[in-house]
Structure 1
Amino acid sequence: MKEIVRLILIIILGVMTMNVNAENVKDKKKRVIVICAHPDDAELTTGGTCILFSRLGYKIKCVSLTNGNKGHQEGTKNEIAIRRYNETQEVKRRMNCEYEILNNEDGELEANLKNRMEVIRLIREWKADIVITHPSYDYHPDHRNTSLLVQDAAFLVNVPKILPEVLALTESPLFLYTRGRYVNRQKPQPDIVVDITPVKKEKAYIIDAHASQIYEWLPWINRSKKVIPDTQEEKIEYILSEYVLKRGEIKENDRSVVEKWYGSRAKGVKTIEAFEICEFGRTVNDQDIRELFPMFSN
């Protein structure tokens, strides 16, 4: 009889331990890595989502595969690279994230084996649950090659014999594409939209850290005749108008996706960041996405 009671207690304790472990796994804070081509790309495309993730306790890392050393009309390449590096350090402070810049030349990024191994290393070392990158049909060759490098790494991050010195992942991350400048005609509707209305000014403040781009280079290369404001408050409003609200506008194809994820709260969604699921990573259902994006359930 004592032996039976003992066995029952062992079984009960085992079940309790399994439940605790399951809860621990479920409650583990997720890790997100945004891999883009240039310093500022991550903030412009996913800054609001990263802020929301960070508030949920997620760990965020932004990566630029080039040093951005040609992203200005004045100064030497080295001066530009140093300035842009310093801007990302300010982003780290403002957004509470990690930031890494690879030393590839701006405008010369190649989708080669060396860079593929670097991307695999980045994803593995971060132990990423979510990987975000450019769409493959974007306007800049560095963007397109970044997207291809991440796509090529999506399966290989799980293969132990590939880059064996860095431990392979045991579960595939969810891979996502940001919204690019052009609509994907094969898939005009995003899979996921995130409401960044509550953090739109915070996103503008993070983008403001990239002064060399927002107030100098981008107006010059885009032939903009708009006057850059003088005061900090006016600058934030300028970024909000030109970079956050315009890029976050809800398009006709977005509306049903907003309603899908936000339900009765959809009417309050005014500004979004949109994402497309990359088929080469983790296969997910709606419940999986809601678990990875808890803001949909709030």
Structure 2
Amino acid sequence: MHLTAVVAHPDDADIFCGGTLAKHADRGDDVTIVYMTRGEYGGFDTTEAEVAATREDEAMAAAETLGAEATFLDFQDGRVTYSLENRLTLVETLRELRPDVVLTHYSDDMHPDHRTTSRLVTDAYYMCSLPLLETDAEPWEPQNVYYFGKPTSSFEPETYIDVTEFHSTKEEAILEHESQVEWLEEHGGIDAEFDGLIEGIRAESRVLGRTRGVEYAEGFVPLHQSADDYLA
């Protein structure tokens, strides 16, 4: 099985679905993280290029911790837009990677990059199997798309993955994003929810786990209903 997570920023995969990615990698599945941007707006007194370079290095280390491969699509942080050109970029990406299952952001999210990434991935999923849509890679049809998100009034998980044995790996991967952990904890304002980042994520995973009688869980909303073998 090949699992691909398409995320807007370098830390998103680890925060939202790091335990699930590590669990699939541990059982021998191919796992890839596709980063739309390098998160160059997520920094303090330095240039966008310097922030991007740091965050790319951190993302590569985090992906290795999870047992995943990593690739970047070179979109601009905070400026991911919806267009046919960008949708076709995602079509080509999915065709090249040929994942069985795709993970991405839930459509209802405060961050515009998250919302746009969700829409691009969903529409690319529908288009990437079309034989008359020509790209360098051959058509491919993933089995399903699973969405992750923050606890909101509209995001209500339907699929739960027990990540109890892999939550420490998830936390290690998050801490690889040293510059971003500092940014999220000191930025304040709209990111104030990330005060005590690891503790907050651990608490959220416990709440989800409690609904399924396990210590830690991650939750997803599937595009199509199907039987679950992890996220197969």
Identify whether the pair has TM-score above 0.5, normalized to the shorter chain.
yes
Q: Secondary structure at the match of 1:207?
A: helix
Deviation readout 1:268-292 (Å, 9 max, x if unpaired)? x0221100012xxxx4432xx2375
Q: Does 1:290 align with 2:229?
A: yes
CA gap 1:292/1:274 in 2 versus in 1, 3 angstroms: closer
| In structure 1, distance between residues paired with 2:198 and 2:64 | 20
Distance (Å, rounded) in 2 between the aligned partners of 1:251 and 1:43: 17
Tell whether the 8 Å contact from 1:66 to 1:105 is kept in structure 2 after alignment. Answer: yes
Unaligned runs of at least 5 residues, structure 2: none
| 1:219 maps onto 2:176 in alignment | no
Match of 2:88 among 88, 98, 117: 117
1:3 counterpart residue number = none
Structure whose alpha-carbon radius of gyration is higher: 1
1:80 aligns with 2:37: no
Residue 210 of structure 1 deviates from its aligned partner by 0.3
Structure number with higher helix proportion:
1
Aligned equivalent of 1:248: 205
Alignment of 1:158-173 (within 5 A): 158-169=129-140, 171-173=141-143
Report the Cα offset of residue 149 of structure 1.
0.2
Taking CA–CA contacts closer than 8 Å with sequence separation of 6 or more, which of the two structures ends up with the larger relative contact order? 2
Residue 179 (structure 1) aligned to one of 127, 138, 149 = 149
Q: Point out where structure 1 has 5 or more consecutive residues left out of the alignment.
A: 1-29, 229-237, 259-265, 294-298
Secondary structure class of the residue paired with 1:62:
strand
Q: Percent identity?
A: 28
Number of residue-to-residue matches in the alignment: 229
Query: Whole-Å Cα distance in 2 between the matches of residues 183 and 126 of structure 1?
Result: 33
Deviation at 1:98, TM superposition (A): 0.9
- TM-score norm. by structure 2 comes to 0.90
State the TM-score, normalizing by the size of structure 1: 0.71
Q: Choose which of 187, 190, 193 in structure 1 pairs with 2:157.
A: 190
Is 1:206–2:176 an aligned residue pair? no
Distance 1:203 1:292, change over 3 A: closer
Q: Is 1:204–1:239's contact at 8 Å kept on the other side of the alignment? A: no
Deviation of 1:51 after TM superposition, in Å, equals 0.6
Are the equivalent residues in 2 in contact too, given 1:39–1:101 (CA < 8 A)?
no
Partner deviation per Cα, 1:218-275 (whole Å, 9 max, x = no partner)? 01223589xx9xxxxxxxxx654233x12313259x83xx3xxxxxxx3xx0221100
Paired amino acid for 2:222: I
Q: Please list, as runs of the form range in 1=range in 2, the aligned pairs for 1:1-298 lying within 5 A after superposition.
A: 30-169=1-140, 171-184=141-154, 189-214=156-181, 216-222=182-188, 240-243=198-201, 245-250=202-207, 255=211, 258=212, 266=213, 269-278=214-223, 283-286=224-227, 289-290=228-229, 292-293=231-232
**1:101 Cα deviation (Å)?**
1.6
Amino acid at match of 1:213: Q
Aligned residues of 1:59 and 1:97 also touching (Cα < 8 A)? yes
Are the structure 2 counterparts of residues 272 and 291 from structure 1 closer, same or farther at C-alpha, using a change threshold of 3 Å? Answer: closer
Determine the C-alpha separation between the residues in 1 that align with 2:230 and 2:17.
19
The AA in structure 2 aligned to 1:38 is: H
CA RMSD after TM alignment = 2.2
